[in-house]
């Protein structure tokens, strides 16, 4: 699997059309991107332009996800692309994204690997500025073990990340983590590689949040297999609904003590 690291620079603006130069350190490709119509023109007949054309969908995801105000002459970004990456498989929320001793892949949720399942959820009340999270482990025999914790963090996404970190701290070895947070699932398996290349700046030129937590999560995934699955919140899924209940109960208990 070829992973190519590159750098993008915005060098010219003409209305809503932007000229981009992408370099891999040896060759440079010239692109024109329209931020309104999303029309993309890749120029050149060398290996780099061919690589970008062959993996155009990955490139488009990067360009499409950038906010319009982050397009300006002088903007620079380091990024990487995986040759032949199956974007549809990664985007399919019914699949599991796997971080296995540093390697990242996608498998069907129906694939059984004899791993305990750990469900996590977080709850935050903006009005009371109180948060909590829960962890529910289901072992191979179908037995459950639950934990609830308070959180000093001030937003739901950060608490969801904190919950997954705590689960990996509590339970060693290989695990299947089930979360209703796309922030966690995509962050550890897709976004972190780009953030680290750019000193933790995003494609929009803003600093990524929760850097210390992401580094901690990456450390906890080292030397083990962790499968990350997505569960839609409030969709009558027993384990997810129970995790949500435990987290809210823990949060409400905090309110009663204050």
Does residue 244 carry a catalytic annotation? yes
Catalytic residue among 160, 187, 194, 229: 160
> From CA 14, how far away is CA 147, in angstroms rounded?
56
180 is catalytic: yes
| The pair of three-digit structure tokens given for residue 192, joined into one six-digit string | 């972190």
Catalytic site residue 234?
Answer: yes
CA distance 95 to 89: 7
SS3 184: helix
Torsion angle, alpha carbons of 168, 172, 175, 180, to 10: -20
Q: Of 122, 131, 187, 229, which is the active-site residue?
A: 122
Does residue 160 have an active-site annotation? yes
Which residue in 36, 142, 234, 236 is the catalytic one? 234
Buried b (16+ CB within 10 A) or exposed e, 134-154: bbbbbeeeeeeeebbbebebe
* The 76-82 sheet, strands edge to edge: 40-43, 28-34, 17-23, 3-14, 76-82
d(CA 168, CA 147): 13
State the catalytic residue, choosing from 44, 46, 102, 121: 121
Segments in 154-237 forming alpha helices (H): 156-170, 182-186, 192-197, 211-221
| Cα of 176 vs its chain's centroid, Å | 16
Active site residue 139: no
- 148, 180, 227, 239: the active-site residue: 180
Q: Which residues does the annotation mark as catalytic? A: 121-122, 160, 180, 234, 244
């Amino acid at each position: 699997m070829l992973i190519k690291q590159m750098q993008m620079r915005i060098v010219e603006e003409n209305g809503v059309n932007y000229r981009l130069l992408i370099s891999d350190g040896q060759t440079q490709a010239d692109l024109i991107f329209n931020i309104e119509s999303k029309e993309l023109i890749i120029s050149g007949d060398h290996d780099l332009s061919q690589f970008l054309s062959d993996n155009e969908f990955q490139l488009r995801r990067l360009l499409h996800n950038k906010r319009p105000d982050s397009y300006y002459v002088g903007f620079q970004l380091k990024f990487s692309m995986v040759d032949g990456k199956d974007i549809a498989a990664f985007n399919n929320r019914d699949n599991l994204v796997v971080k296995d001793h540093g390697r990242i892949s996608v498998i069907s949720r129906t694939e059984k690997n004899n791993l305990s399942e750990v469900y996590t959820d977080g709850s935050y009340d903006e009005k009371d500025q109180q948060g909590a999270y829960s962890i529910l482990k289901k072992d191979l025999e179908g037995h459950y073990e639950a934990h609830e914790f308070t959180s000093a963090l001030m937003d739901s996404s950060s608490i969801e990340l904190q919950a997954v970190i705590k689960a990996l701290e509590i339970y060693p070895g290989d695990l299947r983590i089930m979360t209703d947070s796309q922030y966690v699932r995509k962050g550890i398996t897709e976004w972190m590689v780009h953030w680290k290349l750019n000193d933790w700046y995003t494609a929009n030129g803003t600093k990524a949040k929760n850097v210390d937590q992401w580094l901690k999560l990456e450390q906890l995934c080292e030397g083990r297999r962790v499968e990350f699955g997505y569960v839609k919140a409030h969709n009558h899924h027993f384990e997810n609904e129970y995790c949500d209940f435990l987290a809210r109960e823990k949060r409400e208990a905090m309110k009663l003590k204050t």
